[in-house]
Amino acid sequence: MSVLPAIAAVAELNRVLRAENAALSAMDIPGANGLLAQKLAATDTLTEALKLRPILPDSARREVEALQNLTAENKALLERAMLAQRRVLACIARAVPRALGQAGNYTAGGKTRPPAQMPAITLLSQA
């Protein structure tokens, strides 16, 4: 059984992960999102190649180790991007009441202010 499809699949996934990691490192979220289809295709190809249970030669070890390292880096970068998005959304959520001229939750007499009606807000993110 040929191991070439598995080696090629690992190399392709490494290529896509390098590109996605570069985009995420630059906080280029649309750029990273644009690689999703390639990443999914490369993952599917690797999954299919590994179903044949190839025994990879030692010469492929470097590609497999690179895949492990790139995957760990990708996970950390994705977590960082999600944290940044959460922070942006939290800033927006705090800013909207202020932008509408709403003060804090208490009146000058110390009583609780009734909740203000929040306007409908839609956020759209597209790659």
Domain containing 27 equals 4-99
Residue 104 lies in a domain: no
Residue 119 domain-assigned?
Answer: no
Q: Rounded to an integer, what distance in angstroms lies between the CA atom of residue 110 and that of residue 113?
A: 9
**pTM score, two decimals?**
0.70
Residue 90 is assigned to a structural domain of this protein: yes
Question: Would 34 be classed as within a structural domain?
Answer: yes
Say how many domains are in the chain: 1
Assigned domain for 53 exists? yes
Question: Is residue 13 domain-resident?
Answer: yes
pLDDT tens, the chain, 127 aa long: 467 888 999 999 999 999 999 999 999 999 999 999 999 999 999 999 888 887 888 888 889 999 999 999 999 999 999 999 999 988 888 887 777 666 566 677 777 766 666 666 666 665 4
Q: Domain for residue 114, yes or no?
A: no
Q: Is residue 71 part of a domain?
A: yes
**Rounded distance, CA 95 to CA 81, Å?**
21
CA atoms within 13 A on the CB side of 54: 19
